[in-house]
Amino acid sequence: MDKILVIENDHILRTNLRELLECNNFSVIEADKGETALKKIKTSTPDLVISNLFLPGMSGVKIQKNFLQDEENCQTPFLFLSTINPNDFTHHLNSKVESLLIKPFENQELLDRIKSILERKRSFSKGIELTNAGSTTANDEIKENLNKIISITDSMSLKYDEYTKEELVGLLSTIKFAGIKTKECISNYIMSSDIECYNHCRNKQTFTVNLDRIKELLLEVSSNYGRNKDLLLNLAENKSVIPISFFEFTLRELTKTAFRFTKRGAPVEVFAKNFRNKFIFGIKDSIDSFVGKLDQGNLFSMQPFSKINEITKNLGGEFSVKGNKIYCSFRLN
């Protein structure tokens, strides 16, 4: 059963839409504004969004842009509802709206548009799914993501004139996320190799932290979440007693978690320092206090933290949650 998210501030119209859709075998999620809709998609991914274009507060276009920043929802199609054609004054929206139904409309007209949009989505998704079968290892995951990129670019090259602007942006977002996953898989493979070499090395060596590289890595993470202004870097020239690839992996995953669990505008501090003969690095949650809601038992059951904890112990360090910080610490000698 296809799931449709209806975002409409007019209670009567929203109720009528829900009843019409449910009578036609659709599962319906309701929201009266953008903020409510964005909360609901965290627990339930819709197959289609029907949204009033000119909602109070967050407009339909802004809601769609938020969807495009989320890997699970970036290909979710939107059908906008409006009493006027917004393309007559696109400067108010900073974009042209293509999937649009002008109010008032006939019920059958809405149902036909829904059917057409969902058929197009299923047709393309079927081609993508054929490339994803049987992925179980990191190597398979890299192949899966590369196949996904190839499949999407082939489709865009052959049928670019058949896609709406919103669909093309969704496909490009999927390519972006597939590229990010591929990059992370390769980085994790390199990290595993580094750790294996490090553990078999008789004379343990120290490594100098490359601040420019770390800043570039973390800015890339914050950009993916649209949170560059929220990232605070408290890094200094330090000596690390662990493989740099593991240091980078841990900071990246901690920063990603902080952005997932904090609100936009809440600062997230990433730190690394040599203190009392220890190399310490991690994140500090200044305002949102999400760290305070975690305990080590819950944290260590989550991926990738169970992996970080296991590797940290294997390298002779300690992975901890204390106060408003999540961090790793290693003795320098």
Burial class of residue 101 (count of CB atoms within 10 Å of its CB; 0-12, 13-18, 19+): middle
Query: Which CATH superfamily groups domain 204-331?
Result: Histidine kinase-like ATPase, C-terminal domain (3.30.565.10)
Q: What number of other Cβ atoms are within 10 A of residue 98's Cβ? A: 14
Tell me the C-alpha distance between 220 and 11, whole Å: 41
Domain ranges of the chain: 3-123, 138-189, 204-331
Tell me the C-alpha distance between 135 and 44, whole Å: 24
Tell me the C-alpha distance between 227 and 212, whole Å: 19
332 DSSP 8-state letter: -
The model scores a pTM over 0.75? no
204-331 has the same fold as 3-123: no
Strand partners, 24: none
Task: Tell me the pLDDT of the chain (333 aa) as tens digits.
Answer: 899 999 999 999 999 999 999 999 999 999 999 888 888 887 778 989 999 988 888 888 888 888 877 767 777 888 888 887 655 544 444 444 557 888 888 999 999 989 888 887 776 555 444 444 444 455 677 777 787 788 778 777 776 677 777 777 777 888 888 888 888 778 777 777 666 665 655 445 567 778 888 899 899 889 888 889 999 999 877 666 678 888 888 898 889 888 888 888 888 999 998 888 888 999 988 766 677 666 656 667 777 788 888 888 888 889 988 888 889 998 876
Taking only the tens place, the pLDDT of each residue in 19-32 is: 999 999 999 999 99
- CATH classification (class only), 3-123: alpha beta
- Tell me how far CA of residue 69 lies from CA of 55, 64, 72, 169, 231, in angstroms: 20, 9, 9, 11, 17
In the numeric block, the tokens 């290892």 are attached to: 137
Residue 76: predicted pLDDT: 83
Burial class of residue 213 (count of CB atoms within 10 Å of its CB; 0-12, 13-18, 19+): exposed
Tell me the C-alpha distance between 239 and 87, whole Å: 57
First to last CA, the chain: 60
- Tell me how far CA of residue 172 lies from CA of 117, 158, 175, 178, 231, in angstroms: 18, 15, 5, 10, 26
Q: 4 in helix, strand or coil? A: strand
Burial class of residue 41 (count of CB atoms within 10 Å of its CB; 0-12, 13-18, 19+): buried
Structure tokens at 249: 């992996």
Structure tokens at 20: 């019409």
